[in-house]
Structure 1
Amino acid sequence: MGASVPVGVFALDPVLEAGTRTTLLACPELTVCEPEDARVAVLTVDRLGPAELDMVRTIRAHRHGPAVVLVAGTLASGDVVHGLAAGARGLLLRREADASRLAHAVLAAARDDCTLPPGLLDQILNRPADARHGGVWADGMLSDRERSVLRLVADGHETAEIAQRLSYSPRTVTTVVHDITQRFRLRNRAHAVAYALRAGLL
C-alpha cells in the first residue's frame, strides 16, 4: 500500500466540519492534516451558492493548490457545472458520502480524476443541447443580450466590433461583460468564455 493522501477539511459550519473529519478518520488510505499541508481538500456545505463557490476558488488559489472534493447537502445539475467550473474535482451528496465513497472521491481527486454523483451526471449528459445551453445558465442567470455578447467575445471580437454587430454602444458591451464577470466571480473575459464553454453555453 502506498503512502496515505493528506486531506484538509473545510466547512462554513463547524458541525459539518466535525462530521467530515470523523468520516475521513475512518479511511485508512487518507490522513487528515492541516489545510496548508493538504493534497486534497474536502469542502462540506449545505448547498452550493456564491459563498461556497468562492470558497472553492480560494482553496484552489492556495500556494499548493489542493484538489477540491465538494460534499453538499443538495446538488442540482446546474450546481454540478458551477462547482466544476469553480475548480472542484469531485462532488458528492452528503447522504451518500460514507467513508468508502468519500475515500474513493478523494483518491480520484488526488490522481486528478473527477467523480460525480451518477444520477446528476446522467442528467447533464442526457439533457438535449438546447436545454444544456439554457438550463444551467437560464432561470434569469443570463439574458439573451448577455449570451449574444459572450458568444462574440468567444469568437475573438473586440468591444467595438461587438457593439457594431449588435447595434449597441461600446459602453453597453463593456457593462454587459463586467456584469457577467462580477455575477459569477470571474476574473476577466477569457475566464468568462471558459466558464461558459464548460457550462455548455457556447
Structure 2
Amino acid sequence: ANRHDLVAAGAAINAARREVEVAFGQYYPSVSLNLGASLYRESVPTGRDWDALLTANLPLFSAGRIHADVRQAWSFYREALLVRARLEREVAQQVQLAYHDLSSSDARLAELRVRLAAAEMAFQQAEGSYRVGRATNLDRVAAQDALLDAQLQVASEAFDRKVNYLFLLQASGVLREQIEAGFAIAATQPAAR
C-alpha cells in the first residue's frame, strides 16, 4: 500500500488498538515508588538524606468508569477498521475507474488513428484529382480540413491518454515512485544539445 491515506488509516488502527490495551490495563492494580534525595534539609527529621513513598492503586470502585473507557476504546478501534475498509473500497474503485478510462482512451486513440489514415488518403485523392482537374479547390480544402481535424483529434486523445495514465498511477499510489525513477534516469543521461 503506497497510498498515504491507506498508510495513515493503518497507523490509526494501530493507535486505536494501543488505546484499547491502555484502557484495559486500567483494570490491573498499579504500584509506584517515588524516591527523593536531599543535599541539605532544614525540616524535621534532619538526619535523613533521602525519603521514599510507595503507592499502591487497586481499582475497586472505578470498574464502571474503566468498563466505559474500554468500551469506548473498542468503539474507536472498530471505527478505525471501518474507515480503513471504506478507504480500501474507494481506492479499488478509483483504480478500476482510472483503468477503465485508460482502456477507453486506448480504444478511442486506435479508432482515431484509423480515421486519420482515411483522412490522409482522402486528402491525397483530392489533391491528385485537383491537379488533374477533376476536383475543385473547395474539394481539396474540405479534404485538408478533415485531415487537420483528424490530426487534432488524435493529438488531443493522445494527451488525454497520458493524463489517464497518470491518473491510474496516482490512484494506485505509484505516481511518486515513477516520477522519482524518471528523474533518476534523466540525471544519469547526458543533456541533449
Place the TM-score, normalised by the shorter chain, in its bin.
under 0.3
Which protein has the bigger strand share?
Answer: 1
TM-score normalised to structure 1 length: 0.22
Using CA pairs under 8 Å that are at least 6 residues apart, name the structure with larger relative contact order, 1 or 2.
2
TM-score normalised to structure 2 length: 0.23
Which protein has the bigger helix share?
Answer: 2
